Amino acid sequence: MRILDKYILKSYITTFLVILFSFFVLFLVVDISDRLPRLLRKSAEISDIIAYFVLRIPYLMLLASPVIILLSGLFVMNNLSKYSESIAIRAAGISIFRMITPLIWFGLFFSIFIMFFGDFVLPKAEEYRNYIYTEKIKNMKVKDNKMRSHINYLGQNNNLYYIGFFDGYRNTLKTIDVTNYDEKRGVLNKKITATSADWKNGAWQFENCDIRIFKNGKFEELIHYDSTTIAEIDVKPIDFIKSAKKPISMNYFELKEYIKRLKKIGEKYSKELVELNLKISFPFANLIILLFSVPLVSTMSRSKGRGMVFAIGLLVCFLYLSALRICQSLGYNEVLSPFMAAWLPNIVFAFVGIIFVVKAEV
């Protein structure tokens, strides 16, 4: 690594760590000031309160990472411009893009770090923080939603399911109606009804079950069973249980599996699918936002010019986070596809950031 790369990277990392620590202190002070009186009113233990706020740090780090990485870049670029180091670097024939290459590499590695941090550390921290708040501070129980009614979904082989009631504590179903139809011809093939079903030995045991066979859409045969199992019913009790965890408390694979469960039983999953895409797209905002620190390199060393760039940089960060929230909301409501809801802000701001870099070279 060249001496210049080491110098710029060292300056950036030092500034980054100082700003990161400052943000943690600031956010924790604000969070403690806002929440501490309410926690004390619930007679919470001091150890639980401390753990609750400490476990907040991973979320704050993930949320504030684009702002921190942008401010760090702005401060470093400001110092290079203030002491005319950027002018000397360019006079030596080094392009702006080459000069910021170590920062780009840092942004890339930091984005990958944030992605894994958000997938492995954050879910565990949020899950345990929720446990402390709900069970230890509020003295309530964290439970999955195991009691559901009027469930409709489309299963495999064009099976339309209706479940009147599901009891996840006993793993029983009430009022089951399964209709198999020929999609091409639009006629019934089979209709299965049962008053109840119990999950036993890895299969549903149906009680008082009637199977009606249709041929060319016309009723042909009725088969009755007092008790039987049906291989066509391919769902398990876990498929009906809605998780009490929020998407932020699940890692990528847990959330992906949960989406499969929702899809299998016909539940809406647009919100969860947006969050799944955000688990990958949001970390790379750190690399994209870093591009906006580049224009300061070409800014004259006048303080007014630098102050304006700082203001614009913070405005860009605010606009990015606002755009992300708007697209996220549009994705929740299925106005945008989950992929576009998560990636559109990155695409737009990456395009604008690259234009800034190119113009800075001129």
Q: In what order do the strands lie in the sheet with 203-215?
A: 147-154, 159-167, 172-182, 187-200, 203-215, 218-229
Q: Quick check: 1 pLDDT over 70?
A: no
State the residue for tokens 């969050």.
275
Report the amino acid identity of residue 65.
Answer: S
Write out the two tokens for 110.
Answer: 């930091």
pLDDT tens, position by position, 60-87: 888 888 888 888 888 887 777 776 676 6
For the residues 114-142, what does the mean pLDDT come to?
83
State the residue for tokens 């970390």.
283
Band (204; pLDDT cuts 50, 70, 90): confident
- Give SS3 for 84: coil
Q: Quick check: 186 pLDDT over 50?
A: yes
pTM for the full predicted model: 0.72
Q: Which is higher by pLDDT, 260 or 111?
A: 111
Q: Which is higher by pLDDT, 183 or 340?
A: 340
The pLDDT assigned to 296 comes to 56
Q: State how far the alpha carbon of 352 is from the alpha carbons of 41, 78, 295, 314, in Å.
A: 49, 21, 12, 15
Write out the two tokens for 50.
Answer: 């401390």
pLDDT tens, position by position, 309-349: 667 777 888 888 899 999 999 999 989 999 999 999 999 98
Q: State how far the alpha carbon of 312 is from the alpha carbons of 34, 65, 81, 82, 131, in Å.
A: 30, 18, 17, 18, 41
Beta strand extents in 8-146 (DSSP E only): none
Q: With residue 261 as reference, give the H or E element that holds it.
A: helix 252-264
Report the alpha-carbon distance of residue 44 to residue 42 in Å, rounded.
5
Report the alpha-carbon distance of residue 230 to residue 253 in Å, rounded.
30
The pLDDT assigned to 87 comes to 67
Report the alpha-carbon distance of residue 123 to residue 136 in Å, rounded.
19
Instruction: Among 68-77, 137-146, 164-173, 333-342, name the most confident range.
Output: 333-342
Band (361; pLDDT cuts 50, 70, 90): low
- By CB atoms closer than 10 A (0-12, 13-18, 19+), residue 202 is exposed
- What are the backbone angles phi and psi of residue 13, rounded to the nearest 5°? -65, -40
pLDDT tens, position by position, 18-52: 988 888 888 888 888 888 888 888 777 888 888 88
